[in-house]
Amino acid sequence: MDERRFHPIPEPTLRRLPRYHQLLEEWLGEGAEWVSCARFAEAVDVDPTQVRKDLACLGVPGRPRVGYPAGDLRVGIERFLGWNHTNEAFLAGAGHLGTALLNYARFADHGLEIVAAFETDPEKIGRDINGKQVLPLEKLAALARRMHVRIGVITVPAAAAQFVADQMVAGGIRAIWNFAPTALDVPEGIIVQDEDLFSSLAVLSRRLEAGTGIAAKEREAE
C-alpha cells in the first residue's frame, strides 16, 4: 500500500532528516530554490554521498548539474516524518524540564502535541501551563485510555520514573519518551526512547579530553 517501508530506514538517516529540514527552512528563507548535497554535507558534517542516500528515501528526485528543489525537499521531509499530522502525548512531571517541554511551541510542527501534564505535587495540580492542565497522576491511565493517547513523556525524577511508566502502560500508551536517567522495565512491544543526558555528557567529556590530549597529536600528523 505504501511505497515507503518502515524498517529499512537507518536510524542515523532518520536523525539527520530533521537537521536537513532545519537547514532548508533557513535557505528557503534566504530565497534558495535549488540546493546541493555538498551544501548539506558541509553544514551537517557528513559525506555528500550519505546525504544523497538520505534524500533518496524521500522520493524527491534531484537534477544532475542543478541539485534538489528546496521547497519539494522540505515538503518531502515533512511528509516522510509525518509532520503533517500530530500525535497527542501526556507528560508526567511538571518540574523545570517538564515545564520547558510544555512551553515548547515548536513540537506542534514536528508531530507531537503534549495535551496535558500529570503530577503528584498538590501545589502544581490544577495549574495551567501554556494552556495545558496539570492533573493528578492517578488520572493518567484512565484518561490516556479514553483519549487514545499513544505517547507518554517522562520528566519526573529517576526514582519515580518506573511507577509513572507503569501507569502509562496501564493506560495503553505505546511509546515512552524518557528523560529520566533510569532504565525502564516495560512489556515487550512498548517503545522506550531514552533521552539520557548523562550519556551525552559522557561523550562530550571524552571528546573534550581526547581533543586536548593524546588524539590531538594524531591530528597534527595529518
Partner DNA sequence: TAGATTGTTAATCGATTAACAATC
Residues that bind its own copies (CB under 8 A): 2, 5-7, 9, 11, 14-19, 22-23, 43-44, 81-82, 87, 95-97, 99-100, 103-104, 106-107, 110-112, 150-151, 158, 174-175, 177, 181-183, 185, 189, 191, 193, 195-215, 218
Q: Which stretch binds DNA (CB under 7 A): 54-62, 98-106, 138-146, 156-164?
A: 54-62
Q: How far is the CB of 26 from DNA (least distance, A)?
A: 17
Is 12 a binder of DNA (CB under 7 A)?
Answer: yes
Characterise 130 by phi-psi region: left (phi > 0), alpha (psi -120 to 50), beta (else): left
Q: Which stretch binds DNA (CB under 7 A): 5-13, 104-112, 138-146, 201-209?
A: 5-13
Is 36 a binder of DNA (CB under 7 A)?
Answer: yes
Q: Which stretch binds DNA (CB under 7 A): 10-18, 144-152, 155-163, 208-216?
A: 10-18
Is 18 a binder of DNA (CB under 7 A)?
Answer: no
- 196, 88, 209: which is closest to 152 by C-alpha? 88
Could you say which of DNA, its own copies, none residue 10 binds, taking C-beta under 5 to 8 angstroms by partner kind?
DNA
Closer to DNA by Cβ: residue 71 or 136: 71
Element (H, E) at 5: none
Q: Please list every residue from 67 through 86 that binds DNA, using CB under 7 A.
A: 67-68
C-alpha grid cell for residue 125? Answer: 495540580
Closer to its own copies by Cβ: residue 110 or 139: 110
d(CA 136, CA 125): 6
- The residues pairing with 123 across neighbouring beta strands, listed in sequence order, are none
Q: For the stretch 137-149, what's the b/e string if a residue is b when 16 or more beta carbons lie within 10 angstroms of its beta carbon?
A: bebbbebbeeeeb
d(CA 121, CA 136): 8
Closer to DNA by Cβ: residue 12 or 126: 12
Kindly report the three-state secondary structure assignment for every residue of 97-136: HHHHHHHCHHHHHHCEEEEEEEECCCCCCCCEECCEEEEE
Q: How far is the CB of 53 from its own copies (least distance, A)?
A: 16
Residue 89's SS3 state is: strand
Could you say which of DNA, its own copies, none residue 36 binds, taking C-beta under 5 to 8 angstroms by partner kind?
DNA
